[in-house]
Every structure is written in structure tokens, then in C-alpha cells.
Structure 1
Amino acid sequence: MGDILFLGHRVPYPPDRGDKIRGFHILKYLSARKRVHLIAFADDPRDLAGKAPTEMTGHASVIWRAKSRLRASIEALLTRKPISLTAFDSSAVRGAVAALLAREAIDTIYVFSSQMAQYLPARPRQQVIMDFVDMDSAKFAAYASEGRGPMAWVMRREANLLFQYERAIAGRADASLFVSEAEAELFRERSGAERVQVVENGIDTEMFAPDAPFEQIDAIDALIVFTGQMDYRPNIEAVSWFAETIFPQIRVRFPQAQFAIVGRAPSEAVKALARQPGVIVTGEVTDVRGWLAAAAVVVAPLKLARGIQNKVLEAMAMARPVVASRAAAEGIDHADTLRVGETAGEITDAVIALLDDPAAAAHLGRAGRARVQARYSWNARLAPLDAILGIGVEAPPHRTAA
């Protein structure tokens, strides 16, 4: 049997943000079964020095993505392609893929995120697994519906061109994967694609555990926590909505309440929220678990969310009570293990109810952890890959130097 080539839009280690977490665990899972080679982009200088999982036995090639947003936008207009593709168009990656396919016996190409499908051979002799994760074109369509003027036009253009591309790639792939049944069904309905399957996200329940060793933070009364990559538009919109509309109402009932926005690369809009009473913007932290453990309530008030939210699973695994928007809870088997609100009033009431009743909040947290342990371990969630790829556990060959 041949090897696997894993193409990633972002190097999947260290697993310190949502897309990298899924990629890391898939890479680790596949490497326990076959020899896996990695070609991926890096957009953080620290990722260039990152170490591949010890289980990985193939070659790793990490290539810096230096193209500016402006250049990608101009190229997209000139070539009538989506910006999502031109932003990741690289002759260096194209050369690396061609060289590896010529040198190694590859029988499966695992494409992680649609941006990387442009590096597939014109007529692949290999099995192609397209892990879309989420339906990105639907995200841009939602942005377009909310926008105005030139930006709305840009988002509509992106949504339409990317959807055409997604549908074409799904037609070429042996399997198209999505992170939740809701995303998979949406793609089936809109594209008419076949061979669409679900491989859900999981969680490391030994690492994210209330009794695991991690650095604690000082206790803060009535602490409400949001975690995430804070230059990501849906996260920016979520914390802005919460801090400006919901949190002031909570402070009427709990004047001492604090809202901590925990995550790296906060945008200027996020930093500005720290000027509001009770709002903390931490920036990057070494370990998010300390903030989760200290939280009286964890919130995920995303108005736009695709697939399964790692931030919600992490909080549940830490046995914290969670209040999430309907969009953030979609795709998670959460019956009676978190609170869901649609409007600002519903989310406000849910948070206040949990702050008012610590015993109920603790019970909800314990139920959430039990659900995650039973349902969302990574091995359990990734097990469908064995049948999809037609592989089983076997000892991969010796490691090749990167």
C-alpha cells in the first residue's frame, strides 16, 4: 500500500487554534495507520519552527505564506477566481507537491480545506479525500447578506465563485468530508454532490479536564469567559455583540461581573472593548485552561458559525457551564448539557440564571463533561476515516527526516 499526502492550508501544529486542532489530530490519526507526508503553509513565524507529531513518519514541508490580501484580491479580479484561492496560490507549494508525487509512492491525497484542492494533479491517480470542514461559500453568502455597498459585492462574488469551485472539487473527490451533519446536508442540498460524509471534531478530554495540571489564574467573582482567535471575524462580531449589548444587562444584576475575551491577535475593535467597565482583553495566553477553569460561565454568542465549535467542546470538557448561540451549538449533541439562546435577551437571561444558581451551573458543567467524554473523544470521532480511506492500524515505515 502507498503513502498519504496531507495538504494543509495551515501547518497543523502546534494545535493552538480551531482549524489546526482538527488538522493535528487527523494527521496524528492517519500517521498511526500509514506513512504520511505533509505539505502545508505557515502564516505565523513560530510555526516555521514547530515540530511535527512524533507519530508522523513521512516528510514535512512547511512553506511561508507571504502573499498580501491586496495582491490576492487583485489576482482574483484578474483571473476571475475567488480570493480564497488566490490567497493560497503558490508556485513553491505547487513545486513541492509535484516533486513529492514524483518521488514517493502516494496512493491517497488528503486535502484539508478547499484552498488546497488547487494543488491536486489534473487527473489524480491517487484516491482524493476532500476535507472541506465547513461550507465556506455559505459563510461568505451570510457576510454578503449582512453587508452593504462594495464589500457586500465582494462577499457575493466570493460566495458564488467559491461555491462553483467547491461543487467542482466535490465532483472529482472520492469523498467530501464535513464536520457536522448540518454542514454536510447543506452542501448536498445546494450542490447535488454525492459521496458526502461526516467526520466530526473531537476533544482531548485528558488535557481539557478540570483535574489536569495547568496554570491557575487568580479567582475573579462572576467571571464570564469567551475564548477564540480574536482576529477572526465571527469571533470579533460575537464578543462585540456580547460586550456592547448583553454584558451591560448582566452587570445590572451582577455589578461585579467581569467579561474576559481570551485569545491571541485581538483586532483593534476587540482591544477597544477593554475600555468598557468589566471587560478584560487578555491577548494570547500560554494556556486557555486556567481561564476556563476560573469561569463562572463560558459564552459562545456567535451569530455566524459553521460546523462544530472547538471552543464549546473545550469548555464542556472543563466541566464549565456554557451558554451558546443557536449557531454555535449547531452540530453538537448537547441535549441538557448547555444553554442555548437566540436573542440578546435569551442569552442574557441564561447567563444570569447560571450566575444566580451556582449549584445548577455546576451540575450543567458536570453533565457537559460527561457528554464530551462519551461522545467526542478524537479516536471515536475519527474512526470513520478507516472505512473512508480503506485503511486499518498498521506499523508505518521508519521516519524520514524533514
Structure 2
Amino acid sequence: MALMLITKTDFRLPRDGGALRTSEVVRVLSSAGHSVSAFVAKPSSHQGTSSRVAGFALIMANLKVLRRVLGCASLTVAKWYSPSMIKSIVAARPTQKWNGTIIEYSQLAIYRDIVPGPVLIDMHNIESELMRNYQKSASGWLRRMAALWESRRLARLESSMVNFASAITFVSQRDLDVFRILAKSKLDRNEVQLAVAPNGVAEEGFRWTGTRQPNVVFVAHLGWQPNIDAATWLVEKVWAQVVAAVPHARLQLVGRSPHPSVLRLTSDTVQVFADVESVIPFTGSAAVATAPLLASGGTRLKIMEAMSCGTPVVSTSLGALGLESKAGHGLVIADDPGDFAKALVDMLTSSPSEDTVRSAVLDMKWDSTLTSLVDTANEKLGV
């Protein structure tokens, strides 16, 4: 089966959780015998297109996408309008035939009118819920109002997907249940298959054998506002309590494109590591990993990745969304800064065994977690 896949960024060398999931989706589909043609909204290098693209066809394709962008009226959707990707799709259509399309991320549903159907949407998050959570934790009335607007516009876009999608996959049962409530009235009128295809872990973490250090690590895209807020909360509300109990402890903030406000968190006990080649050496050598999210959605790949290394995790409730069943098996959930600090101190002084932590995610390798996505694609796109 030949499939078109639409995604946000280059996934060949994944630098974040979304790109990693997309990379695994492509790998698993290819292993199942499907031919996947990927089109990227913001490629890391030039996305080649034919020099001869019919002007009228290209104009009409852009107008169709822009109509969806304007109708959604969301800034977080508009940022993914990509004339270069539209040109690539239009150039490829006369020479390639696809059985259907997989759209990664709900924001890219704006391309639905120019891709071949039927369509499967792979939801990385319930984006409207993420914005609702951010609206509650954001500092400043302007950010809160913007987040509230975005949440409402994204909810409208997400609920509309049942009008055209043949199937939608979710990273957790919780996300699927939230979506059922969000789109209930439209689900009653449309036949769309909903399935859970959880995030997973790669083999690399399970093979880690490094030495543990008295480090606490937070791995994330450090230029994304919810992660900036999380790092700030961790340093300003939690970290002093940890150092008071364990003076030799060190906090490592690891990730791509750190915002200046994150860089300013550096101190004698707090280090920032930007754009590292691999986060596994940091996660694998830490005594404990963290997910101190105050706004979140989907499931945190970094939690599962840390646990595959045998590293226990302390997370807020929002950071651990969809992974609540792992609590008590290498994952501690705490929302109060004092409770969060105490959990970190406990892990620094007496952590569970690596085997205990790893066993909690042994059933979450990508080949297993994405089986339902492949099955859904076979059923709904292979027509």
C-alpha cells in the first residue's frame, strides 16, 4: 500500500518527541510492507520539487489550504502553513498514486483538501487541552487570553476532524476519552474509527550501562514555553529544597534551543546543556529524571525513555498524563513543590533498582505500541 504522510518537521534525525514518534510510525509502516512518501512542512533542508508545477493547480492548492487556515483563525495552526510543502505535493500528484494519507498532528488537518483520501490522523496531543492547561498556568493576562483563544480555536478544529477523517489514533486511552467528549455531537453523526496507538520506547535505553551520578535531569525542548515554565518552576520553587538536603546534587537542563530565560537559570548547582547529540548519556547517568510540566498533553516520551534506562522519574500530574498506571513502578507523581522536592531527595538517596524501573516499560517498545496504528491504516486506508 502506498501512503502519503504529512508531518511538521524533519524526522530523519529526530530532535524532539513528536519527530521521534513520526520516525517510528514511518519505520513500522515500512516494516509492514507499506511505501511511505513523507512531506514536511518545515524541512531542515530543501524539499525538492519539480521545476514544472502547473500554476493554476498550485494556486488552487494554496487557496484551499489558506481557506482552512483562515477558517481556523489559530496562530499555532497558521505557523504550519507551508507553500514549499504544498508545491511538493502538487508536483508529486501527477506521477505518484497513493491509497490514502496519514496526517501527523491535528494542526496539519488544514491540508486535508489537497491530499488523497481516505485520511488517518495521528494525534500526538489533544492540542486544545494542552492550551487549556497552559492558560491556567501562564503568567500575565495577555498570555492567558491568547491561550484561551487558541484552546477554543483548536477545539473547533479537532472536533471538525470527524467530518472528513476515516480514522484517528491517540497516544493514550485518556486522550481518546477526552476527544470523545470534545467531539461528541459530531461523532454521533459520523462514522470514524478511533484507536489508541501509544507512544513507545526504543531499544537504545534498555542497552544503557553507564555509571550513575547524583544528578537530576530535565530533558525537553527548552525553547517551548511550557517547558520554559517547567524549568523555571523546578529551579525557583523546588531546587533549593533539594540542595539543602543533598548538597552535592546537580540539576541538568538538557535540550534543544534553550530560551535566554532558561540560560539565566544556570548556577553552581544548575547546568544547561544545549543541542546535545544524544540525551541518553544524561538520562542514563542521572539518579532521577523529571517531568515538571505545568501544562501538557499526550504522553511524555522522555518519561518512558528515562525509565527504559533504569532511571526513575518524578513528575507532576500533567507531566505524567496517560502514564498514571506507572506510578509506584519507578514513577512518582507530585504537584506541590515541597512534595516534588521530597520525592527527588528520596530518589537521590535511595532509588529503586534499574531492573524494577525498566520492567515498567518493557511492554512499551515501538513495534508493540504502534501495532494498532498499522492495523487501523490497513483497515481504513487500504480500500
**Deviation sequence 1:106-143 (CA, Å, 0-9, x none):** 11100001222222226x76221011211111122223
TM-score normalised by L of structure 2:
0.85
Question: What amino acid does structure 2 have at the position aligned with 1:371?
Answer: A
Q: Structure 2 vs 1, CA of residues 273 and 314 (structure 1 numbering), >3 Å: closer, same or farther?
A: same
Q: Please name the residue that 1:234 is paired with.
A: 226
Range with bigger deviation, 377-386 or 139-148 = 139-148
C-alpha displacement of 1:293: 2.4
TM-score normalised by L of structure 1:
0.81
- State the alpha-carbon separation in 2 of the partners of residues 354 and 109 from structure 1: 45
C-alpha displacement of 1:61: 5.5
2:13 maps to 1:14: yes
1:48 counterpart SS class = coil
Q: How many residues align?
A: 353
> What pairs with 1:156-235 in structure 2 (closer than 5 Å)?
156-192=148-184, 193=187, 194-205=192-203, 207-211=204-208, 220=213, 222-235=214-227
C-alpha displacement of 1:202: 0.8
> What pairs with 1:352-367 in structure 2 (closer than 5 Å)?
352-357=345-350, 361-363=351-353, 365-367=354-356
> What pairs with 1:110-129 in structure 2 (closer than 5 Å)?
110-121=102-113, 126-129=117-120
- State the alpha-carbon separation in 1 of the partners of residues 232 and 355 from structure 2: 29
Gaps of at least 5 residues in structure 2 are 50-66
2:307 maps to 1:316: yes
- State the alpha-carbon separation in 2 of the partners of residues 210 and 29 from structure 1: 21
Question: What amino acid does structure 1 have at the position aligned with 2:81?
Answer: D
- State the alpha-carbon separation in 2 of the partners of residues 211 and 154 from structure 1: 42
C-alpha displacement of 1:383: 0.6
Q: Please name the residue that 2:335 is paired with.
A: 342
Q: Please name the residue that 1:40 is paired with.
A: 40
Q: Please name the residue that 2:74 is paired with.
A: 82
2:265 maps to 1:273: yes
Contact conserved, 2:69 with 2:81, CA < 8 A, in 1? no
- State the alpha-carbon separation in 1 of the partners of residues 178 and 193 from structure 2: 14
Q: Please name the residue that 2:30 is paired with.
A: 31
Q: Structure 2 vs 1, CA of residues 145 and 61 (structure 1 numbering), >3 Å: closer, same or farther?
A: farther
Gaps of at least 5 residues in structure 1 are 50-59, 63-74, 393-402
- State the alpha-carbon separation in 1 of the partners of residues 94 and 199 from structure 2: 33
- State the alpha-carbon separation in 2 of the partners of residues 23 and 301 from structure 1: 24
Contact conserved, 1:300 with 1:328, CA < 8 A, in 2? yes
2:92 maps to 1:95: no
C-alpha displacement of 1:6: 0.4
**311, 328, 333: which one pairs with 2:319?**
328
Contact conserved, 1:239 with 1:261, CA < 8 A, in 2? yes
C-alpha displacement of 1:311: 0.8
C-alpha displacement of 1:79: 6.4
C-alpha displacement of 1:303: 1.6
Q: Please name the residue that 1:368 is paired with.
A: 357
1:203 counterpart SS class = coil
2:383 maps to 1:386: no
- State the alpha-carbon separation in 2 of the partners of residues 241 and 100 from structure 1: 47
Range with bigger deviation, 142-151 or 238-247 = 142-151
C-alpha displacement of 1:287: 2.0
- State the alpha-carbon separation in 1 of the partners of residues 340 and 245 from structure 2: 14
Q: Please name the residue that 1:69 is paired with.
A: none
Q: Please name the residue that 1:65 is paired with.
A: none
Q: Please name the residue that 1:131 is paired with.
A: 122
Question: What amino acid does structure 2 have at the position aligned with 1:97?
Answer: I
**Deviation sequence 1:144-184 (CA, Å, 0-9, x none):** 33444333332222111221111112321011111111111
Structure 1 runs of 4+ with >4 Å offset:
75-80
C-alpha displacement of 1:368: 1.8
- State the alpha-carbon separation in 2 of the partners of residues 238 and 350 from structure 1: 17
C-alpha displacement of 1:78: 7.3
Contact conserved, 1:139 with 1:304, CA < 8 A, in 2? yes
